[in-house]
């Protein structure tokens, strides 16, 4: 037992002396967490929850009537001041060019006759042909241009309701004999305005409740940081397996095997070393992100338990990779490939909940998926009991993979003299 | 015979560490010249400068009329280099390696293929030509490593300790092939820290230590400098403790040094005949039988010892 | 020239000697493009799934669900409350909409109604769900609103004789409003780019371009691995004792890396064109320019890295890490618009940002050569700077 601990400790020391490995063990997860944090706006502390603000948009108003001006006013209103940064231009072609050059998220071009197509002429009582607002959207900014579209849609919706409201009311009044057709136009205009206003205040309120426990603050980085840590944990374990092959090539493994140690002890020692390294890596990342990003990981004891379980599951994979390849170089390449595949499959990069069921089922072969699930629960205020399924899954994964790798090792004679 | 290589006051410093400290010598076309020196003496550094890899801190060397400083490309065409450490692509086959390096030496087409075949023959790896170098034994890799240096039939071949870390059999083969090449007219600059190799191969020897060329000449010239020393070699039984005997012999008057290699004890002494009797009696006292005794002429080991007070290998 | 080809050949053999290389060369990029694009074209629904619990089972609730179904961004999935809560707690859905039993037209006529939408926090999908539901609710309530106002206006002019008359007036107005609203003309036309064949925004174009950059940049940064390897094995030293110039060696190595990068890009682009039906192919000239410029810029960074890294392992780790981080920050994984404005400016120092921009100009915006020239110029600028650094600091041991 003491020897196993000794072997493990040796590997831990070696791992932390390898500068190249440290880049991937500690630096990379940090850099990627930071990067993803930036993307999701988790670091900006911004007020809008989508992380978007000051969306650039160009407005071209060619409409002589009032509605064109009103739409421009909407974009320039105080309520939207933070969300959009509108710019008024007189030249539709130039506005489109700005979108094509990715200078702006969208161009809103209000054509001449837009108002006339909606509000009937006070003299004739007739409205012109309907013309369309051109919304020229930037495809490389789908979310931003989607927001602009929503604003325009809402405005048009409101105008439409005003128009229909006025029309329905007026024709009702005429049919019921309350007014004369000649009065229609004047009354209609007046009604339209008040109806449009009314449309703004919906009678159905939507109460948005955000998930769970108000006690624990949920931060996007709290999702990203474990994702990245778990992904690079896969690197650590495959790297650990790689060192076994390096030791075989360099002759320190055969030397160990002629020392009074059983092959099982050597293998266990190696696994223990990888386990220690992985645990150290996870804990360093967790502590550092707590200090640097003010992340709240949740109940410390439960977090520790989950970390240990994740490392067990991952070490299982590391051993399997080692058992399957022949050279250290192969171990390194396969290791990085598996790291990336598991990263994506396990949800380290993006929320896999939107993906099809087969995908989510497949993701369960990765320690990342179980781990992320657990860390998610803990961050949302869960306790040890909530992550019991995850811990069980991870431990089972570790045990099964260990068994398979041991069998392969024996058969290939890697740990024979 | 004209000198194919003239080294003039060559100095090479790494930062403030002087690795080669103003050495001068020349090599005649057709000879084997050995540069003998212990670890860290500056052999590899010298070869690196001569093969245009490093620019010397000062001084110059002229190879076939071209300065290594001013005309490195012209020099490179004339020389072949066998580096101390293997420099091969282990994932390429022997043939692919030779072919690649041949092209780097401006060979191409039929000439290239012909040379690759010849060299494969020469290094005795014809039957393994299409296997990856990484599947080779250490000795075979060394042979490929040498083969690469021969492809373009250089006029001057630099061999930097080609026998380091190699079994006796492969070593023998390499030494023989060096002699062969020389017989075919190739000039060789050979570095080693094995006195025996320098002794066996070379016409002339330079002894280098701490970056200084401390001796230079034919073997006869060198050993004459230290004429007062002779070597007495004892071969004893495998059963006996040679180390203990050597220890005892160090106390005999007239013995300057006693070195043990396996079951051979080499005694360095001004007069071999004088110590013969006390040595034999010391052995008898311990019940150790001496199988053979040979008295050698003063050798390079003795020269080095004389000049530095140290052995070539510690 | 012959030598350059010999080096090219050697590099190629060395690179593909390991079957694992294929994993990085094609298999992983395709897998990632495929997964990030959300599976194959068509048979995958990219709409956000919204669990809907209908406790009302009224005409109004049916209208709401139909409205959600018709929206482009939401896929309503009707569940029981228990099922929905279970899925929500497992984070399988990002939002749950609960329609209460009193969600009926009658109740709406009498007064206001409330709906309950539970969202996962900090989740863009649930935000989208919120907006869509809000819009549809606005439309549903507006006809009631109009009818109400209409009754009010009539009442102001001449009071109704009895409640029945008022109710009849209300129903007629509601009916008219609903009809009128449903036949309202389209007043907004959206367009995405100025080309003959109108380009649909396709999120898969983003993933195709982004993954292409990621997976081509990583091996190009890997040139540094080649250098580290050749230094470690002493072959680089040996090479420089042969009559071969440093420039020849560099050129040959680069040629091999850039050539295979181009082949790789071409295969990924072909996958984009034929399997994902993306608009890569409309301007071959623009495509050639931007792909070449990207490959040159990335290879230059590889060369520069090669001058600084010490070991092969370091070079390997650094290539993967830098490749991923640069790709991420360059907008290859998520659109740049999601980044804070400062970051959007800051990432202009990354070649990935320009490469992505240029490729999106082609595949998303359908632009041609003149549009990608600025990006190509910036990329070539990167190439020049990093080649200079790499060659200046080039070491052979
Ligand atoms: N790149 C370098 N930078 C600094 N010092 C060096 C470098 N290469 C060699 N040295 C030093 O220069 C001296 C001469 O080294 P060199 O390699 O030439 O010796 P050598 O005679 O070839 O030894 P060996 O028999 O061990 O190969 C040594 O002290 C060595 O430490
Ligand atoms: Mg040396």
Domain of C251 in residue numbering reads as: 2-38+207-392
Question: How many whole angstroms separate alpha carbon C293 and alpha carbon C381?
Answer: 9
Answer whether residue C249 is part of any domain. Answer: yes
| Statement to judge: residues C326 and C215 lie in one domain | yes
Element of type H or E holding B291: strand B290-296
Section B40-54 average pLDDT: 92
Bridge partner residues of B204 (DSSP) = B33, B218
Which atom belonging to ligand 1 lies closest to the Cα atom of B84? 27
Domains in chain A (CATH in brackets) are 2-45+219-412 (no CATH), 55-201 (3.40.1710)
CATH (domain of C130): 3.40.190.10
Q: Are residues C226 and C95 in the same domain?
A: no
Q: How confident is the model at residue A20 (pLDDT cuts 50, 70, 90)?
A: low
Residues C158 and C216 in one domain: no
DSSP C307: H
Going by pLDDT thresholds of 50, 70 and 90, the confidence category of residue B66 is very high
Q: Read off the pLDDT band of C261 (50, 70, 90).
A: very high
Indicate yes or no: CB of B73 within 8 angstroms of CB of C243.
Answer: yes
pLDDT band at A325 (very low <50, low <70, confident <90, very high): confident
Q: Is residue C195 part of a domain?
A: no
Quick check: is C65 in a domain? yes
Mean pLDDT, residues B184-212: 90
Instruction: Report which DSSP code applies to A213.
Output: -
Percent of the residues in chain C that have a pLDDT greater than 90, as a whole number? 21
C76 lies in the same domain as C154: yes
**Range of weakest confidence among A347-351, B6-10, C199-203:** C199-203
pLDDT of residue B102: 92
- Closest alpha carbon within chain B to C397: B53
Are residues C262 and C330 located together in one domain of the fold?
yes
C122 lies in the same domain as C175: yes
Per-residue pLDDT at C127 exceeds 60: yes
Ligand 1 and B45: CB distance under 6 A = yes
Q: How confident is the model at residue C122 (pLDDT cuts 50, 70, 90)?
A: low
pLDDT (average), residues A249-276: 75
| Predicted pLDDT at B10 | 93
Number of domains in chain C: 2
The response to whether residue B44 sits with its C-beta less than 6 Å from ligand 1 reads: yes
Q: Is 50 exceeded by the pLDDT of residue A44?
A: no
Judgement on whether residues C360 and C249 belong to the same structural domain of the protein: yes
Predicted local confidence at residue A47, as pLDDT: 35
Looking at residues C265-292, what average pLDDT do you find? Answer: 89
Nearest chain C residue (CA) to A374: C90
Which atom of ligand 1 is least distant from the CA of B208? 21
Which of B104, B113, B132, B155 is the best residue to mutate to test the C interface, defined by the most C CB atoms within 10 Å of its own CB? B104
Choose the weakest-confidence range: B60-69, C192-201, C258-267. C192-201
Cα of B143 from ligand 1 centre, angstroms: 24
Of the residues A353, A359, A378, the best mutation for testing chain C's interface (the one with the most C CB atoms within 10 Å of its CB) is A353
Determine whether the interchain pair A356/C140 forms a contact, defined as Cβ–Cβ distance below 8 Å: no
If asked whether residues C238 and C379 sit together in one domain, one would say yes
Q: Is C213 a residue whose pLDDT tops 80?
A: yes
- Does the pLDDT at position C195 exceed 70? no
From chain C, pick out residues whose CB is under 8 angstroms from the CB of B89.
10, 14, 233, 235
pLDDT at C42: 41
Mean pLDDT over the full length of chain B: 87
Query: B12 in ligand 1 pocket by Cβ < 6 Å?
Result: no
**CB-nearest partner of C243 from B87, B88, B106:** B106
Helix (H) or strand (E) holding C327: helix C312-329
Please tell me the residue having the least CA distance from ligand 1 atom 18. B42
Question: CB of A165 within 8 A of CB of C149?
Answer: yes
- What part of C 220-249 touches B (C-beta under 8 Å)? 233-235, 237-245
Nearest to B53 among C10, C13, C237 (CB): C237
Is A157 within 8 Å of C139 when comparing Cβ atoms?
Answer: yes
Per mean pLDDT, which range of A35-39, C211-215, C243-247 is the poorest? A35-39
Asked if residue C160 is part of any domain, the answer here is yes
pLDDT band, very low/low/confident/very high, at A416 (cuts 50, 70, 90): low
Share of chain B above pLDDT 90, in %: 46
Say if residue C27 is in the same domain as residue C52.
no
CA distance A210 to A212: 7
H or E element that contains C375: helix C369-392
Query: Do C77 and C222 belong to one domain?
Result: no
Q: In this structure, are C211 and C306 located in the same domain? A: yes
Q: What is the ipTM metric for this complex? A: 0.77
- By percentage, how much of chain C surpasses pLDDT 70? 91
| Residues C276, C286: Cα–Cα separation, whole Å | 20
Does A125 have pLDDT greater than 70?
no
Alpha-carbon distances of A2 from A7, A11, A319, C28, rounded to whole Å = 9, 14, 22, 42
For the cut 60, the answer to whether the pLDDT of residue B86 exceeds it is yes
pLDDT at B56: 93
Whether residue C293 sits in one domain with residue C155: no
> Are residues A160 and C184, on separate chains, in Cβ contact within 8 Å?
yes
Q: How far apart are CA B1 and CA B4, in angstroms?
A: 9
Q: Which chains touch C (3 or more CB pairs under 8 A)?
A: A, B
Model confidence pLDDT, tens digit, residues C23-81:
888 888 888 887 777 643 344 455 677 888 988 888 888 888 888 887 766 788 888 88
Per-residue pLDDT, C196: 47
Residue A340 pLDDT level (bands cut at 50, 70, 90): confident
Tell me which of A166-175, A236-245, A280-289, A324-333 is least confident: A324-333
Q: How far apart are CA A330 and CA C350, in angstroms?
A: 31
Lowest mean pLDDT among A75-84, C111-120, C175-184: C111-120
Which range has the worst mean pLDDT, A57-66, A246-255, B129-138?
A246-255
Is the Cβ–Cβ distance between A220 and A41 less than 8 Å? yes
Per-residue pLDDT at B287 exceeds 70 = yes
Average pLDDT over residues A175-191: 75
Q: What is the pLDDT of residue C282?
A: 84
CB atoms B53 and C242 under 8 Å: no
Q: What is the best residue among B20, B21, B40, B86 to mutate for testing ligand 1's pocket, by most ligand atoms within 8 Å of CB?
A: B40
What's the CA gap between A247 and A145, in Å, rounded? Answer: 56
Checking if the pLDDT of A70 tops 80, the result is yes
Answer whether residue C161 is part of any domain: yes
0.95 cut: is pTM over it?
Answer: no
Average pLDDT over residues C1-5: 85
Helices (H), C17-58: 20-22, 28-36
Q: With bands split at pLDDT 50, 70 and 90, how would you rate the model's confidence at A210?
A: very low
C1/chain A closest Cα distance in angstroms: 32
Distance CA C40, CA C44 (A): 6
Q: Cα separation of C347 and C361, whole Å?
A: 18
More confident residue, A257 or B219: B219
Residue A123, burial from CB neighbour count under 10 angstroms (0-12, 13-18, 19+): exposed
8 Å CB contact between A331 and A254: no
Is residue C188 in a domain? no
Out of A400-404, C85-89, C131-135, C159-163, the most confident range is A400-404
Higher model confidence: residue C229 or residue C112? C229
Would you say residue C139 lies in a domain? yes
**Facing A20 at nearest CB: one of C123, C313, C324:** C313
Q: Set out the domains of chain B in order of their start, with CATH numbers.
A: 5-222 (3.40.50.300), 230-297 (3.30.70.100)
């Amino acid at each position: 037992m003491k020897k196993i601990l000794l072997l493990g400790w040796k590997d831990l020391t070696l791992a932390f002396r390898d500068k190249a490995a440290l880049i991937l063990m500690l630096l990379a997860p940090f850099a990627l967490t930071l990067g993803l944090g930036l993307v999701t706006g988790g670091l900006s502390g911004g007020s809008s929850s989508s992380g978007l603000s000051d969306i650039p948009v160009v407005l071209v108003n060619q409409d002589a009537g009032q509605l064109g001006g009103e739409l421009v006013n909407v974009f320039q209103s105080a309520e939207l001041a933070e969300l959009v940064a509108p710019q008024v231009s007189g030249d539709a072609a130039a506005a489109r060019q700005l979108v094509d050059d990715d200078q702006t998220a969208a161009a809103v071009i209000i054509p001449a006759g837009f108002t006339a197509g909606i509000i009937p002429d006070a003299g004739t009582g007739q409205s012109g042909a309907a013309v369309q607002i051109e919304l020229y959207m930037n495809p490389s900014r789908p979310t931003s241009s989607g927001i602009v579209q929503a604003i325009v849609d809402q405005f048009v919706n409101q105008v439409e309701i005003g128009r229909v409201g006025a029309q329905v009311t007026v024709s009702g009044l005429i049919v019921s004999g309350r007014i004369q057709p000649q009065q229609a136009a004047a009354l209609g205009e007046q009604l339209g305005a008040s109806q449009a206003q009314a449309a703004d205040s919906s009678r159905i309120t939507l109460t948005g409740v955000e998930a769970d426990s108000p006690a624990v603050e949920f931060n996007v980085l709290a999702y990203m940081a474990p994702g990245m840590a778990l992904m690079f944990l896969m690197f650590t374990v495959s790297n650990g397996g790689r060192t076994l092959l390096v030791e075989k090539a360099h002759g320190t493994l055969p030397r160990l095997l002629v020392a009074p140690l059983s092959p099982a002890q050597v293998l266990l020692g190696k696994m223990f070393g990888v386990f220690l390294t992985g645990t150290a890596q996870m804990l360093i990342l967790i502590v550092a992100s707590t200090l640097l990003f003010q992340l709240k990981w949740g109940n410390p004891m439960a977090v520790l338990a989950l970390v240990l379980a994740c490392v067990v599951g991952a070490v299982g994979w590391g051993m399997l990779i080692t058992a399957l390849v022949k050279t250290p170089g192969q171990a390194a390449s396969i290791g990085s490939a598996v790291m990336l595949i598991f990263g994506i499959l396990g949800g380290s990069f993006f929320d896999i909940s939107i993906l099809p069921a087969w995908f989510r089922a497949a993701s369960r072969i990765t320690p990342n998926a179980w781990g992320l699930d657990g860390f998610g629960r803990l961050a949302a205020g869960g306790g040890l009991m909530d992550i019991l399924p995850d811990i069980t899954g991870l431990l089972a994964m570790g045990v099964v993979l260990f068994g398979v790798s041991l069998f392969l090792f024996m058969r290939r004679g890697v740990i024979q003299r | 015979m004209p000198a194919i290589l003239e080294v003039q006051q060559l100095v090479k410093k790494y930062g403030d560490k002087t690795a080669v400290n103003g050495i001068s010598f020349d090599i005649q076309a057709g000879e084997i010249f050995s540069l003998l020196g212990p670890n860290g003496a500056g052999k590899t550094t010298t070869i690196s400068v001569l093969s245009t890899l490093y620019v010397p801190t000062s001084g110059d060397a002229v190879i076939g009329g071209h300065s290594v400083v001013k005309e490195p490309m012209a020099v490179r065409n004339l020389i072949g280099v066998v580096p101390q450490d293997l420099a091969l692509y282990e994932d390429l086959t022997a043939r692919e390696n030779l072919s690649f390096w041949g092209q780097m030496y401006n060979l191409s087409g039929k000439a290239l293929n012909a040379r690759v075949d010849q060299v494969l023959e020469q290094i005795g790896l014809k039957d393994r030509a299409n296997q990856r170098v990484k599947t080779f034994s250490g000795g075979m890799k060394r042979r490929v490593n040498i083969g690469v240096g021969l492809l373009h039939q250089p006029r001057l071949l630099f061999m930097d300790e080609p026998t380091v870390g190699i079994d006796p059999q492969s070593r023998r083969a390499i030494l023989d092939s060096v002699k062969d090449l020389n017989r075919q007219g190739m000039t060789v600059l050979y570095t080693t820290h094995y006195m025996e190799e320098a002794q066996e191969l070379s016409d002339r020897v330079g002894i280098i230590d701490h970056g200084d060329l401390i001796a230079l000449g034919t073997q006869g010239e060198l050993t004459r400098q230290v004429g007062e020393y002779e070597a007495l070699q004892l071969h004893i039984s495998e059963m006996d403790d040679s180390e203990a005997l050597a220890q005892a012999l160090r106390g005999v008057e007239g013995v300057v040094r006693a070195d043990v290699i396996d079951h051979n004890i080499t005694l360095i002494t001004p007069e071999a005949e004088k110590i013969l009797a006390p040595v034999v009696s010391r052995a008898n006292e311990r019940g150790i039988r001496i199988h053979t005794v040979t008295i050698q002429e003063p050798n390079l080991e003795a020269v080095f010892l004389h000049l530095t007070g140290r052995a070539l290998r510690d | 020239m012959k030598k350059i080809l010999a080096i090219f050949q050697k590099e190629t053999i060395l690179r593909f000697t390991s079957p694992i290389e294929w994993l990085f060369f094609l298999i992983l990029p395709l897998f990632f493009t495929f997964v990030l694009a959300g599976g194959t074209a068509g048979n995958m629904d990219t709409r956000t799934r919204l669990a809907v619990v209908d406790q009302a089972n009224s005409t109004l609730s049916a209208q709401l669900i139909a409205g959600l179904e018709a929206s482009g961004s939401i896929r309503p999935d009707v569940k029981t409350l228990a099922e929905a809560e279970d899925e929500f707690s497992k984070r399988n859905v990002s939002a749950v909409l609960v329609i209460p039993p009193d969600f009926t037209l009658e109740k709406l006529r009498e007064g206001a109604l409330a709906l309950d939408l539970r969202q996962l926090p900090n989740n863009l999908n649930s935000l989208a769900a919120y907006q869509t539901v809000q819009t549809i609710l606005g439309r549903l309530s507006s006809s009631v609103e109009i009818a109400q106002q209409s009754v009010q206006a009539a009442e102001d002019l001449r009071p109704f004789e009895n409640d029945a008359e008022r109710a009849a007036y209300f129903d007629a107005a509601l009916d008219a409003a609903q009809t009128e609203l449903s036949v309202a003309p389209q007043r907004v036309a959206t367009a995405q780019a100025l080309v003959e064949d109108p380009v649909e925004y396709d999120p898969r174009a983003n993933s195709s371009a982004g993954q292409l950059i990621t997976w081509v940049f990583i091996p190009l940064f890997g040139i540094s691995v080649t250098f580290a390897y050749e230094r470690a094995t002493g072959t680089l030293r040996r090479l420089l004792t042969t009559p071969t110039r440093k420039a020849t060696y560099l050129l040959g190595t680069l040629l091999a890396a850039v050539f295979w990068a181009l082949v790789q890009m071409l295969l990924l682009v072909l996958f984009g064109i034929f399997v994902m039906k993306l608009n890569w192919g409309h301007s071959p000239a623009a495509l050639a320019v931007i792909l070449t410029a990207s490959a040159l810029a990335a290879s230059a960074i590889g060369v520069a890295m090669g001058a600084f890294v010490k070991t092969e392992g370091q070079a390997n780790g650094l290539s993967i890490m830098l490749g991923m981080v640069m790709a991420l920050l360059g907008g290859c994984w998520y659109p740049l618009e999601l980044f804070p404005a400062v970051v959007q400016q800051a990432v202009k120092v990354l070649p990935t940002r320009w490469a992505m921009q240029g490729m999106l100009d082609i595949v998303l915006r359908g632009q041609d050569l003149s549009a990608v020239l600025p990006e190509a110029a910036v990329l070539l600028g990167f190439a020049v700077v990093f080649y200079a650094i790499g060659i200046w600091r080039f070491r052979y041991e």
